Amino acid sequence: MFLPVIPRNFYYDFSNTFGLRLAAPYWDRMFGFDVIKFDEFIQPEDGESTEDAIRRKYGDEAVKLVNDILNWERDQFEQRNAP
């Protein structure tokens, strides 16, 4: 089963923030946001979390955007798997 189409504002904000399309390899309708691929793009320094690297390179709004995408994704999986 596939996730619903991700809200458009996420596409626009992701592109404007990171200069990337929220599409393959970072997004898959079956598996969602690929945090491993995104981590490879962010390239945190040794001992630095991905969140801290995003904040350092792109700011707090970028961290919020990634968290919003992950929370949306989680909510979609929970709704899909609800009894």
pLDDT digits (tens, 9 = 90+) for 19-60: 999 988 998 888 889 999 999 999 999 999 999 999 999 999
Please determine, for residue 62, whether its predicted confidence score (pLDDT) is greater than 80.
yes
CA neighbours closer than 13 Å in the CB half-sphere of residue 63: 11
Amino acid (1-letter code) at residue 26:
Y
Confidence of residue 14 (pLDDT cuts 50, 70, 90): very high
pLDDT of residue 3: 66
Q: Which two tokens stand for residue 53?
A: 């690297």
